[in-house]
Amino acid sequence: MNLLTVDLEDWFHVCEVEHLLPKEKWDDLPSAVVADTETLLGVLEQSGFHATFFVVGYVARKHPQLIERLHREGHEIAFHGWDHELVYSLKPDEFRCILRRGIRTIEALIGKRPIGFRAPQWSINDRALWALDILAEEGFVYDSSMAPLKFIGNESYPSSPHLIKTASGCLREFPPLTLWTPFGRYPAGGGWGLRCLPISILKRQVHSLNAVGEPAVFFFHPREFGGKHPIKGLPTVKRFVVEAGVWSSRIQLLKLLKEFQFTSIERFLSSPPNMTIFMPKSPL
Ligand SMILES: [Zn+2]
């Protein structure tokens, strides 16, 4: 089994562009998350697989029926921050408040609390390892926020699912699929990395992981499946990250669904394999 995840956010939830898309203006922007998610679900429904949807609190508040529908259809509802905030930009108490608000909101909608968290832009890294303790303290079972990649994470992080010991118990960590290149690790599990990667290389990597009993973790965004909402003035690097190869998202997902088995992280955890323990250390 491989793990299919979706970061359930609107097209304007892009980190580090607050000067272009200030939070105060979000309510005035044309939301596309419902229509885009329906397109994505149309692709998924043909396969019969379930996915984990990491929901931004803002989206849950604005579109509660979408969350209820996903839950009704057997998908997992997990949490992706309230306003899509970078975790390392928060103070520990602020992070805890956001988690509690997310738990309350999701529980009120679907009658059960989320057990998983994914930080926007993989923002639990060496600058925010304290967040892992808080996640465990607040009752989260797993996290999917630590990328074994340069710049946004740390290449020394494990690339397979593993256990992290915290002061409040163990947390299971699900890193996104990456593959090793002469230039370092490449982000193959989603975003521009997945969209621009030849499918044959992607398939080979997933087959080799599955052969040793490891799942590959994939992630998609509704905006990759919907109408275009170009963001004016995006810096070049951000534009590449958001838009490069975006037309191929649907094709890549269809090919993956045809070749491999997928499930949500929650369903995967109902019979989890043994996982090695990793102790991330803050840099001195
Ligand atoms: Zn996100």
The average confidence (pLDDT) of the chain is 94
Q: What confidence tens digit (pLDDT) does each residue in 120-144 have? A: 999 999 999 999 999 999 999 999 9
**Which pTM does this prediction carry?**
0.95
pLDDT higher at 70 or 19: 70
Give the pLDDT of residue 127: 95
- Mean pLDDT along residues 148-152: 93
pLDDT band at 246 (very low <50, low <70, confident <90, very high): confident
Nearest to 246, CA basis, from 262, 229, 218, 225? 225
Q: Which of 51-60, 194-203, 220-229, 250-259 is predicted most confidently?
A: 51-60
Q: What confidence tens digit (pLDDT) does each residue in 12-21 have? A: 998 888 888 8
Distance (Å) from CA 266 to ligand 1 centroid: 19
- Mean pLDDT along residues 66-92: 98
Distance (Å) from CA 242 to ligand 1 centroid: 11
Give the pLDDT of residue 283: 62
Distance (Å) from CA 260 to ligand 1 centroid: 25
- Mean pLDDT along residues 218-223: 96
Distance (Å) from CA 79 to ligand 1 centroid: 10
Give the pLDDT of residue 281: 79
Distance (Å) from CA 21 to ligand 1 centroid: 15
Distance (Å) from CA 81 to ligand 1 centroid: 8
Distance (Å) from CA 214 to ligand 1 centroid: 24
Listed range (12-21, 135-144, 157-166, 210-219) with the worst mean pLDDT: 12-21
Give the pLDDT of residue 207: 97
Distance (Å) from CA 211 to ligand 1 centroid: 30
d(CA 17, CA 187) in angstroms, rounded, equals 22
pLDDT band at 59 (very low <50, low <70, confident <90, very high): very high
d(CA 4, CA 189) in angstroms, rounded, equals 10
pLDDT band at 33 (very low <50, low <70, confident <90, very high): very high
Distance (Å) from CA 206 to ligand 1 centroid: 23
Distance (Å) from CA 276 to ligand 1 centroid: 27
- Mean pLDDT along residues 208-226: 95
% of the chain with per-residue pLDDT over 70: 99
- Mean pLDDT along residues 270-282: 82
Taking only Cα atoms into account, the Rg of the chain, rounded to an integer number of angstroms, comes to 18
d(CA 254, CA 19) in angstroms, rounded, equals 36
Nearest to 33, CA basis, from 5, 65, 4? 65
Angle among Cα 43, 45, 48 to the nearest 5 degrees reads 125
CATH of 2-278, one of 3.10.20.30, 3.50.50.60, 1.10.3720.10, 3.20.20.370: 3.20.20.370
Distance (Å) from CA 249 to ligand 1 centroid: 16
Residue 41 has pLDDT above 70, yes or no: yes
Residue 270 has pLDDT above 80, yes or no: yes
Nearest to 4, CA basis, from 273, 276, 258, 215? 215
Question: Where do the domains of the chain lie?
Answer: 2-278
